[in-house]
């Protein structure tokens, strides 16, 4: 993380002293020929630019024909250097009649006062109509702000108006070098231009505009990136520690290893000291001889009895979340932050140098590849550069501390991932961190579902068993009642019938003594049981001797 000027360096990070000239490219004014590449003999020295053409004026306002002009300084390397439009002949009056601009006033050749007033209020367009429309749509993001107010917010680095989305749009719609040439060559009334063109005229002379906007854009979303990167790395670090230290998981692995070695016996697959984690999935496909269960179900039932599944659920509290962290994407975002803060440091140095040197690059588009030379800075531009430095220096000082913390967490996360992959003998080139942690979460989720399903089956089996027992009891009760009815119709109840092996008393019934039965049969036969007896209690309740 390079240090910006006037910002003390972090320990161990030396300040980069200025920006030295690139080897072989002297810092003297002008661009000398590259060493070892002499100029072609006899080749004429081409001027940097061409003299400005005298504009032709028509007798009436004409429709504007939008095209993209080749910059004057680039003409020397094109087909246009040998062409001269002054040689072309055409009927100007005919062109004026065909392409006169509609004004809604009197005759074209002699407009009245109303027509003259409309002509004065008529807007002028320099750029292509489609381009103007697109830029105009972009500017609607700023609401009712005038182009001059938007440009002022950029010059003053007003972060209250330059939001993240607005900055993204501004960077996408910066004027091209060709558009800049067209705008700078305009000598008319700027108030007659469209809103988009007036905005472009306001910003084309801001020093290092594109780089400034990119730095402000980075400032707007960099902290947001750190806010999700740092917890993500800390989650993965915690998950690595959990899968490495869970004693419950070690107990489970020992059980699977023991059963696997027993199954494999003396075969080449036996006598193993360990296995790859994909075994946690394969045991689900290893079925019993009757195909009614699997090795996975057997092990899961054992683990549930040992309460291992609940312990794993507690031990692996961060593993499921770690399985959702794409480390490759996180690394790209972290690299973007490092690149962005380096660009900020560069711009801080460059703007500091501009203030001291007093000149800035004339090219508004840094990626255009066209050298526009340099121009002296005005006092207003110096003031704006100081505003940029004030905003970015403050941001740089705060952000570099958080970035250092983030990069430290990333380094530890990368090391922990390598360690845990080595611990389980997995190849990080073949298995992503997401897939690695998913092995654990999938096993635990599947185990919970399997236990739930097996318990539901067992509960259903118990309910069916109880229902069958109750049904059997009801059948026995009905059979006993039927037998007693048959005995009363056939005569005295024989004690022998009660002692028959085929007769079973219902649950809770008390066996009847043989003497009692015999006595009862004798009383029924003699009729003594039905004779009147005084003061007899039937069922222990005083009666009326009936």
User: Could you give the domains of the chain?
Assistant: 129-206 (1.20.58), 219-248+276-358+380-456 (1.20.58.2220)
- The DSSP bridge partners found for residue 375 are 360
Neighbours of 407 (CB within 10 A): 16
pLDDT digits (tens, 9 = 90+) for 216-248: 999 999 999 999 999 999 999 999 999 999 999
Give the pTM.
0.62
Mind listing the pLDDT tens digit for each residue in 365-387? 444 443 444 567 778 888 888 88
On the question of pLDDT at 402 being above 80, the answer is yes
CB atoms inside a 10 Å sphere around CB 341: 21
Provide the mean pLDDT of the chain. 77
Question: What is the Cα–Cα distance from 370 to 353, expressed in whole angstroms?
Answer: 22
pLDDT attached to residue 236: 97
Nearest CA-CA partner of 322 in 228, 419, 438, 410:
438
Query: Considering just the CA atoms, what is the radius of gyration of the chain in Å?
Result: 48
Identify the residue whose tokens are 């100007």.
92
**CB contact set of 303 (below 8 Å; sequence gap of 6+):** 252, 255, 309, 447
CA-to-CA dists, residue 184 to 60, 71, 203, 362, 389, angstroms: 24, 12, 12, 12, 28
**153: nearest Cα among 171, 167, 140:** 167
pLDDT tens track for 149-171? 999 999 999 989 999 999 999 99
Rounded CA separation 449/447 (Å): 5
Average pLDDT over residues 446-457: 90
| Tens-place pLDDT, residues 104-133 | 544 444 444 444 444 445 567 788 889 999
- Give the residue carrying structure tokens 């649950």: 507
3-state secondary structure of 537: strand
Has residue 492 got a pLDDT over 90?
no
Instruction: Flag whether pLDDT at 536 surpasses 90.
Output: no
pLDDT tens digits for range 172-208: 999 998 888 888 888 888 888 889 999 999 998 888 8
Listed residue (539, 484, 203, 213) closest to 347, CA to CA: 213
Query: What is the DSSP code string of 116-171?
Result: HHHHHH--B--S-HHHHHHHHHHHGGGTT--HHHHHHHHHTT-TTT--HHHHHHHH
- How many Cα atoms occupy the beta-carbon half-sphere of 230 within 13 Å? 14
Bridging pattern class, strands 374-376 and 541-542: unpaired
How far is 267 from 407, CA to CA, in rounded Å?
50
DSSP-derived letter for residue 532 is -
DSSP state of 541: E
Q: Select the more confidently predicted residue: 13 or 380.
A: 380
In which band, very low, low, confident or very high, does the pLDDT at 454 lie, cut at 50, 70 and 90?
confident
The DSSP secondary structure of 76-128, one letter per residue, reads GGSGGGG--GGG----HHHHHHHSBPP-SSS-SSS--HHHHHHHHH--B--S-
Does residue 4 have a pLDDT over 60? no
DSSP 374: E
| Rounded-to-integer distance, Cα 412 and Cα 293, Å | 43
């Amino acid at each position: 993380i390079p240090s910006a000027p006037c910002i003390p360096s972090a320990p161990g990070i030396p300040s980069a002293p200025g920006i030295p000239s690139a080897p072989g490219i002297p810092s003297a004014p002008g661009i000398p020929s590259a060493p070892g590449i002499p100029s072609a003999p006899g080749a004429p020295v081409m001027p940097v630019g061409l003299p400005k053409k005298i504009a032709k004026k028509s007798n009436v306002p004409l429709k504007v024909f939008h095209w993209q002009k080749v910059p004057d300084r680039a003409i020397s390397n094109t087909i246009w250097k040998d062409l001269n439009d002054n040689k072309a002949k055409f009927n100007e009056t005919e062109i004026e009649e065909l392409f006169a601009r509609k004004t809604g006033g009197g005759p074209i050749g002699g407009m009245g006062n109303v027509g003259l007033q409309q002509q004065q209020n008529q807007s002028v367009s320099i750029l292509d109509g489609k381009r103007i429309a697109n830029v105009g749509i972009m500017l609607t993001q700023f609401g009712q702000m005038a182009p001059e107010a938007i440009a002022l917010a950029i010059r003053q680095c007003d972060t209250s108006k330059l939001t993240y989305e607005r900055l993204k749009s501004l960077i996408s719609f910066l004027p091209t070098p060709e558009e800049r040439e067209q705008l700078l060559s305009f000598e008319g009334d700027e108030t007659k231009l469209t809103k988009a063109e007036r905005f472009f005229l306001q910003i084309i002379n801001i020093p290092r505009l594109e780089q400034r906007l990119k730095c402000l854009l980075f400032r707007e979303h960099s902290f947001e990136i750190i806010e999700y990167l740092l917890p993500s790395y800390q989650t993965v670090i915690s998950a690595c520690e959990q899968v490495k230290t869970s004693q419950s998981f070690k107990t489970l692995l020992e059980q699977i290893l023991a059963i696997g070695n027993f199954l494999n016996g003396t075969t080449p697959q036996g006598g193993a000291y360990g296995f790859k984690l994909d075994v946690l999935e394969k045991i689900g496909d290893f079925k019993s001889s009757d195909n009614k269960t699997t090795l996975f179900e057997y092990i899961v039932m054992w683990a549930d009895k040992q309460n291992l599944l609940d312990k794993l659920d507690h031990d692996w509290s961060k593993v499921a979340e770690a399985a959702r962290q794409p480390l490759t994407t996180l690394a790209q975002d972290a690299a973007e932050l490092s690149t962005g803060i380096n660009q900020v440091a560069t711009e801080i140095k460059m703007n500091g140098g501009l203030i001291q040197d007093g000149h800035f690059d004339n090219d508004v588009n840094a990626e255009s590849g066209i050298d526009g030379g340099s121009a002296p800075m005005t006092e207003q531009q110096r003031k704006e550069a100081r505003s940029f430095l004030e905003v970015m220096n403050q941001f740089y000082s705060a952000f570099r501390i958080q970035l250092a913390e983030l990069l430290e967490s990333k380094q530890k996360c990368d090391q922990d991932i390598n360690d845990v992959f080595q611990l389980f003998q997995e190849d990080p080139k073949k298995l992503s961190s997401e897939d690695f942690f998913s092995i654990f979460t999938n096993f635990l989720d599947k185990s919970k579902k399997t236990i739930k399903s097996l318990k539901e089956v067992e509960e259903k089996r118990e309910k069916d068993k109880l229902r069958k027992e109750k049904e059997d009891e009801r059948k026995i009760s009905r059979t006993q009642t039927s037998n007693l009815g048959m005995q009363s119709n056939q005569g005295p109840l024989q004690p022998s019938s009660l002692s028959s092996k085929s007769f079973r008393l219902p649950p809770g019934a008390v066996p009847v003594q043989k003497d009692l039965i015999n006595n009862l049969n004798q009383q029924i036969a003699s009729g003594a049981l039905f004779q009147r007896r005084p003061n007899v209690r039937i069922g222990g309740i005083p009666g009326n001797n009936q």
